[in-house]
Amino acid sequence: MIATGIKIGVPVVAIGVGIYLIRRAIKKRSNPDGTSSRVAPSLKDTVIETKNLTITPSDAALFANTLYGAMLDFGTDEKTIYSTIDKIATKDDMLLVIKAFGMKQYLWGTRAAFIGQDYNLVGWLRFELSEGELAKIKPKFDQWGIPL
């Protein structure tokens, strides 16, 4: 009976250790301040001015889901990303969309419950878009004062 428990327990521990090691290996090299160059800045302390909103929370959720769908799984739908971001008029609208997007696990554009890392919308955009593609949306983010 004990031998059976050992036969089952050893592989379970090995899998757990393997997942831990893979997760550590996937993490990007950090900057001196402990953040990765691809990690989105925290927007927790940013206040959304409701008087500047031109969209409703349900619109923001729709935009967030559209952007998520454009980046989910392999392959990115850049046209959908560009057209969705073009529909967002103000900084506060974008902040509401980022809030509606929330923190989602990212691992090469897929859902990864065990070894992915949580990123907000800005982090997902940084991973999914090349430098040239980011340059197309960066002026709008610069205008809003949101680091991209």
Checking if the pLDDT of 108 tops 70, the result is: no
Main-chain dihedrals φ then ψ at residue 46, nearest 5 degrees? -80, 130
| Burial environment of residue 135 by CB neighbours within 10 A (0 to 12, 13 to 18, 19 or more) | exposed
Average pLDDT score over the chain: 80
- What digits encode the pLDDT tens for the residues 1-35? 555 556 666 676 667 666 665 555 555 444 444 44
Distance from C-alpha of 104 to C-alpha of 93, rounded to nearest angstrom: 20
Q: Over range 103-125, report the average pLDDT.
A: 78
pLDDT at 141 over 50: yes
Counting residues of the chain whose pLDDT is more than 70, the rounded percentage is 65
- For the chain, which residues make up each domain, given as ranges? 32-144
**Each residue of 57-91: pLDDT tens digit?**
999 999 999 999 999 877 899 999 999 999 999 99
What confidence category does residue 137 fall into, taking pLDDT thresholds of 50, 70 and 90? very high
Cα separation, 76 vs 70, whole angstroms = 6
The CATH number of 32-144 is 1.10.220.10
* List of E strands, the chain: 104-106, 117-119
Residue 133 has pLDDT above 90, yes or no: yes
